[in-house]
């Protein structure tokens, strides 16, 4: 069983930056990849970025490439999403996700407890 807690969302002007954090609480000692998705009002949930357990491998969605950076600190069981050059179209609820492999995170975890509750990011123009 996994518990995920996101933080760092908020209101920012276009061109600004935010850093999201997601702390994972995992009961059993397993290795896991982590990532971020987002969902804007009236739209489907989209993949943003993911990172492997070691941090060696990353994967970004088209909307994130060149502007967002994912990283993790395994000592803190935390994944980060640094978002720069934010645009109004980045406005969405951002969800943290975890799974046993990077590819599984990118696909979108199927277990409900592999998702966080979400944190709102609002970018004003």
Q: Are 27 and 10 in contact (CB under 8 A)?
A: no
CB atoms within 10 A of CB 12: 17
Q: Which residues of 25-60 are buried (b: 16+ CB within 10 A; e: fewer)?
A: eeeeeeebbbbbbbeeeeeebbbbbbbbbeeeebbb
- Token pair for residue 29? 């000692």
pLDDT at 28 over 80: no
What pLDDT is recorded for position 12?
Answer: 98
Percent of the chain with pLDDT over 90: 94
- Token pair for residue 107? 């696909």
**Cα separation, 9 vs 121, whole angstroms:** 5
**Cα separation, 61 vs 5, whole angstroms:** 22
Can you tell me whether residue 85 is helix, strand or coil?
A: coil
What pLDDT is recorded for position 84?
Answer: 98
pLDDT tens digits for range 55-100: 999 999 999 999 999 999 999 999 999 999 999 999 999 999 999 9
- Token pair for residue 79? 């994944």
pLDDT at 30 over 90: no
């Amino acid at each position: 069983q996994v518990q995920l807690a996101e933080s760092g969302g908020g209101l920012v002007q276009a061109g600004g930056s935010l850093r999201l954090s997601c702390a994972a609480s995992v009961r059993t000692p397993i290795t896991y990849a982590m990532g971020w998705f987002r969902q804007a009002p009236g739209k489907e949930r989209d993949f943003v970025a993911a990172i492997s357990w070691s941090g060696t491998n990353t994967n970004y969605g088209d909307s994130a490439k060149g502007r967002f950076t994912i990283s993790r600190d395994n000592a803190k069981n935390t994944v980060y999403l640094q978002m720069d050059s934010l645009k109004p179209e980045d406005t969405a609820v951002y969800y943290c996700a975890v799974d046993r492999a990077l590819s599984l995170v990118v696909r979108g975890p199927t277990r409900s407890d592999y998702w966080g509750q979400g944190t709102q990011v609002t970018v004003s123009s």
